[in-house]
Amino acid sequence: NSPEAQYESLTQISQMTRSVTIVDGECEQYLQHFERRSNMAKKRDAIVLCINAGVGSAIVSLKHLGMKVAKVIHVESDRVAQHVIRSHHDYCYGEIDDDDQIEHIIGLYNTIGDIAEDPEKIVRKYGPIDMIICNSPQGKSREEDASYAVDFFDIVKDIERLNAELHHFDNLFYLFECSASIKNSLPLQGLSYCFCEPTKLYVCNWPISSQKANLLRHKTDAESLELQNGHVLDSVQKLYASLLKALVAGFDHSKWRDTIHCKYWPFLSMGPQGYDVKLKKGEFGPEAFLLSLRNPENSHVLSDTNYSNYLLERSSSMKILPILLEPMRKLFNEKNYGSPYNVIVSPRQEILPTATLEHGGIMSRNSPNSKNNDVASDTDDDSSVVKTEVKDEETSTDDEAKLFDIVERSFSR
């Protein structure tokens, strides 16, 4: 490369370095917990509480990382977002072929207030909780963001206490995504935090400085884990089509209950406050109608494409979450969830399955060719689970981060 090209490249690296700020807390709990679990012959399957879950960015991230999850409590108020999560992850919903063997709790808790109302019931029934992943709502005022943060950290304290009281469990980890404008309102002492997007602050209680190079790399990576619109749009379009089919039932002398699956019936109960149907000019019959659902925040009517974009905008970034969650995968059992997950386990590691099908596919517990297709049990015999090997690249992210720091200092002189 010419000197000019090298200079331009180094300038871009320097600018990216300044756009990422990471501060590591003491994280004593993580270090003690990591030391204990790294010496254990058998680790836990994670039980995760996802608050303001959106379209499921957190569970997608955990699957990409190959972290074995036992239960996920999805706290989400938007019915369409719940539908997207269930369509991609809940085997009982009937939209996917393979059971991920995760217990998905969806629709029981819609807001952070539902959790705060009776945290003991949740921890007693589903706990102990290993991890809380929370995304602060978008588009709120600074005062509302600060109030939400207070509610979140109150819930953290409650669940830590209840984990210990009810399950003799003292290891709770959490990741909180919020507006960068409320940094001074947060109890950051002893915690790690990261500014890697202009308006976003990520706070967690485990060390993340080792991920600096990966956070920088994601800005220029051609291959990204970001949720594609099709991941959401396909599920939303299917929902719209099913609801419209029920709403125009009668043109062919059919009954709406016979036209769609019962899982869509609750959406019809929204009534005119939840959806809007218009007739195309000059057309007649079922194809002449257009369906729009109302945005629950402002009652604006949205097409399937616009609703899909709205859900993506209010969900956590899939470019950031897997990177920040990567240190946690060492504390839990591994699981290869197969395509489309585990395609990129993390920006610097890959899972190499030792058992494969004849045509190169991964032999999972849910594969039709698998010898064991039953529900996962918490026994010491994991012989039926695909064993994986983790291969580290020779260059560590610590060394890469130091290189970026050297470049930054050279430009600041």
> What whole-number percentage of the chain has pLDDT above 90?
30
Q: Is-above-0.85 flag for pTM?
A: no
Least confident of 140-144, 202-206, 357-361: 357-361
Helix axes 119-126 and 142-167, enclosed angle (nearest 10):
50
Q: Please state the φ and ψ torsions of residue 185, each to the nearest 5 degrees.
A: -95, -5
Q: How many Cβ atoms are within 10 Å of 382's Cβ, its own excluded?
A: 14
> What whole-number percentage of the chain has pLDDT above 70?
70
Q: Which one has a higher pLDDT value, 340 or 178?
A: 178
Least confident of 28-32, 112-116, 184-188, 232-236: 28-32
pLDDT tens for each residue of 399-412? 444 444 544 444 34
Q: Is 361 left (phi over 0), alpha (psi -120 to 50) or beta?
A: beta
Looking at residue 357, what is its pLDDT?
29
Computed over every residue of the chain, the mean pLDDT equals: 75
pLDDT tens for each residue of 291-310? 888 888 887 889 889 999 99
Rounded Cα gap, residues 169 and 186, in angstroms: 25
Q: Which one has a higher pLDDT value, 143 or 195?
A: 143
Looking at residue 231, what is its pLDDT?
81
Rounded Cα gap, residues 186 and 239, in angstroms: 39
Looking at residue 393, what is its pLDDT?
35
Per the listing, tokens 């218009």 go with: 278
Looking at residue 400, what is its pLDDT?
44
Looking at residue 200, what is its pLDDT?
87
Provide the β-strand partners of residue 31: none
- The mean pLDDT of 43-61, rounded to a whole number, is 93
Least confident of 23-37, 48-62, 197-211, 348-362: 348-362
DSSP assignment of 296-364: TTT--EE-HHHHHHHHHHTSPPTTTHHHHHGGGGGGB-B----TTTTSSSBTTEEEEES-B-TTS-B--
pLDDT at 145 over 60: yes
pLDDT at 177 over 80: yes
Local confidence band at 352 (pLDDT 50, 70, 90 cut-offs): very low
Cβ neighbours of residue 111 closer than 8 Å, sequence gap 6 or more:
75, 77
pLDDT at 14 over 70: no
Looking at residue 314, what is its pLDDT?
87
- The mean pLDDT of 116-140, rounded to a whole number, is 93
Q: Are 138 and 106 in contact (CB under 8 A)?
A: no
DSSP assignment of 384-403: TSPPEEEEE-SS-HHHHHHH
- The DSSP 8-state label assigned to residue 291 in this structure reads E
Local confidence band at 39 (pLDDT 50, 70, 90 cut-offs): low
Q: Cis check for the bond before 340: say yes or no (omega within 30 of 0).
A: yes
Looking at residue 286, what is its pLDDT?
63
Q: Counting Cβ atoms within 10 Å, is residue 296 exposed (0-12), middle (13-18) or buried (19+)? A: middle
Looking at residue 171, what is its pLDDT?
82
Q: Are 54 and 84 in contact (CB under 8 A)?
A: no
pLDDT tens for each residue of 248-273? 776 666 676 677 778 888 887 777 77
Q: Which one has a higher pLDDT value, 210 or 254?
A: 210
Q: Counting Cβ atoms within 10 Å, is residue 103 exposed (0-12), middle (13-18) or buried (19+)? A: middle
Looking at residue 319, what is its pLDDT?
81
Looking at residue 292, what is its pLDDT?
84
Amino acid at 333: N
Structure tokens at 323: 């990177």
Beta strand pairing call for 173-179 and 192-197: unpaired
Amino acid at 209: S
| Nearest alpha-carbon partner for 210 in 348, 351, 47, 51 | 348
Helix locations, 57-141, DSSP H: 57-64, 79-89, 112-117, 119-126
Structure tokens at 130: 């290993």
- The mean pLDDT of 332-340, rounded to a whole number, is 86
Q: Which one has a higher pLDDT value, 399 or 326?
A: 326
Q: Which one has a higher pLDDT value, 167 or 279?
A: 167
